[in-house]
Amino acid sequence: MVGFGVVSLAADMVYEGARSVTGPLLGALGASALVVGLVAGAGEGMSLLLRLAFGPLADRTGRYWSLTLAGYALTAVCVPLLALAPLLGGAGLAVACALILIERAGKAVRSPAKSTLLAQAAGAVGRGRGFAVHKALDQLGAFTGPLLVAALIAATGVLWPALAVLAVPGGLAIGLLLWIRRRVPDPAVYDTDRTVPDAATGRAAATPTVDSGPPKPAARGGWLGAGLPGRFFLFAAAAGAATAGLVSFGIISFHASRTGVVSAAGVPVLYAGAMAAAALAALASGYLYDRWNARVLFALPLLAAAVPALALADTIGPVVTGALLWGAAVGVQDSTVKALVADLVPAARRATAYGVFAAVQGLAALAGGAVVGILYSRSVPALIVALAATQLLALGLLAATLPRRATAGTR
């Protein structure tokens, strides 16, 4: 688990470092605000929706390692190549947009397969804890990457050297991943827990939730969700509502810069702080997941509902607090939420489940982003109320996902 986490740490330094300056980079190449918004939105949509294809592909072929390596390689290559865009004249903007989109596609290629390998490796230590440790290391990279980029920009006065330097952690990520694959070609060897407590109730499951041995390729035929339990889809709907109701950091940073609450140079630092909060929230929620089971996820809609009321204020204190709460919500979303998905779905269908789950979140993010964009320009109070209502829906769907005895607080 630690090895996978260090890989994610290095990779996050690469793509989160670049993500913190994507807007200024495209702007310097001549992009309008509309182009920047479209590229960012399309990239995030691709990183989620394409998992609907690559999750089932991983289960059908059983090539979890190959897809994980391919996805990380796209990130390690595309981000440093962005350093060449300012040297390409009029073609620089088109090349930069293409590289950003390809890098986001790389995340879709690797994520379902990687999450399946993680779920296997985490079996011996508890999935909540395992995903939390991985996410904490992942967020450490997301914290240090933007700070490294900011320091290099301050030292050189230009963007491209900072992007070029990101080739170093990218190469480290690929090298370490190859080393782990050689040493542990089958992470299921760590999965010694053959009768795992039900994620929602804490009681022993009638049958093991983890297969003995690596996930077996899924059978062909049927629709993508075939064979997935009904509770999985109910939970996907709950997580989708929580995603739709979570205001993006893009809007937070846009608001902070437009109102002058945070300077342009301070935005990457604010983002780094949010990533640190994500790491701490992932660790805390993962630990509590293994003790209290899925009840800990009730905190997610509550955290997300508080974000817009604070982050869209006009003074520095609430904005910083809102950004930190946004990071905490993201930390829970990207770690402990995945632990419950693994516990709800048979091992042979996990990559497919992660793909379907990400597609639901991707569609929800696109819908939520559109609503936020429309309401922000018209009425911030109306935006806050709309997002709070969406989180209330998420809370209700989550309560319906879990058995009554799980919500009562007893194991």
Residue 190 lies in a domain: no
Furthest C-alpha separation in the chain: 64
Residue 201 lies in a domain: no
* Total domains present in the chain: 1
Please say if the pLDDT value at position 403 is more than 70: no
Place of tokens 């760590």: 190
Q: Specify which of 12-16, 276-280, 304-308, 342-346 reaches the highest per-range mean pLDDT.
A: 304-308
> What pLDDT score was predicted for residue 264?
64
Please say if the pLDDT value at position 340 is more than 50: yes
pTM summary value: 0.69
pLDDT tens digits, residue range 280-318?
A: 888 888 888 878 778 888 999 999 999 999 999 999 999
Residues in the chain: 411
Bridge partners of 197, per DSSP, are 204
| Rounded (to 5) percent helix, strand, coil in the chain | 80, 0, 20
Residue 210 lies in a domain: no
Closest residue by Cα to residue 350 from 214, 178, 203, 206: 214
Please say if the pLDDT value at position 164 is more than 90: yes
What three-state secondary structure class fits 312? coil
pLDDT grade, residue 405 (50/70/90)?
Answer: very low
**Average of per-residue pLDDT values in the chain:** 80
> Taking the CA of residue 151 as centre, how many other CA atoms within 13 Å lie in the half-sphere pointing to its CB?
9
Q: What is the DSSP string of 144-157?
A: HHHHHHHHHHHHHS
Q: Specify which of 183-187, 207-211, 297-301 reaches the highest per-range mean pLDDT.
A: 297-301
Please say if the pLDDT value at position 146 is more than 70: yes
Q: Specify which of 179-183, 225-229, 337-341, 394-398 reaches the highest per-range mean pLDDT.
A: 394-398
Distance between CA atoms of 324 and 307, rounded to whole angstroms? 9
Residue 206 lies in a domain: no
pLDDT grade, residue 395 (50/70/90)?
Answer: very high
Residue 31 lies in a domain: yes
Q: Specify which of 61-70, 75-84, 329-338 reaches the highest per-range mean pLDDT.
A: 75-84
Residue 209 lies in a domain: no
Mean pLDDT lowest among 110-114, 185-189, 353-357, 373-377: 185-189
pLDDT grade, residue 407 (50/70/90)?
Answer: very low
Q: 165 or 266: whose pLDDT is higher? A: 165
Count Cβ neighbours within 10 Å for each residue of 24-50 and write b for 16 or more, e otherwise: ebbebbebeeeebbebbbebbbbbbbb
pLDDT grade, residue 1 (50/70/90)?
Answer: low
Please say if the pLDDT value at position 201 is more than 70: no
Please say if the pLDDT value at position 44 is more than 90: no
> What pLDDT score was predicted for residue 178?
92
Instruction: Print the domain residue range for 91.
Output: 2-176+224-407
Residue 390 lies in a domain: yes
> What pLDDT score was predicted for residue 336?
79
Residue 236 lies in a domain: yes
The CATH number assigned to the domain holding 71 equals 1.20.1250.20
- Quickly count: other Cβ atoms within 10 Å of residue 115's Cβ: 28
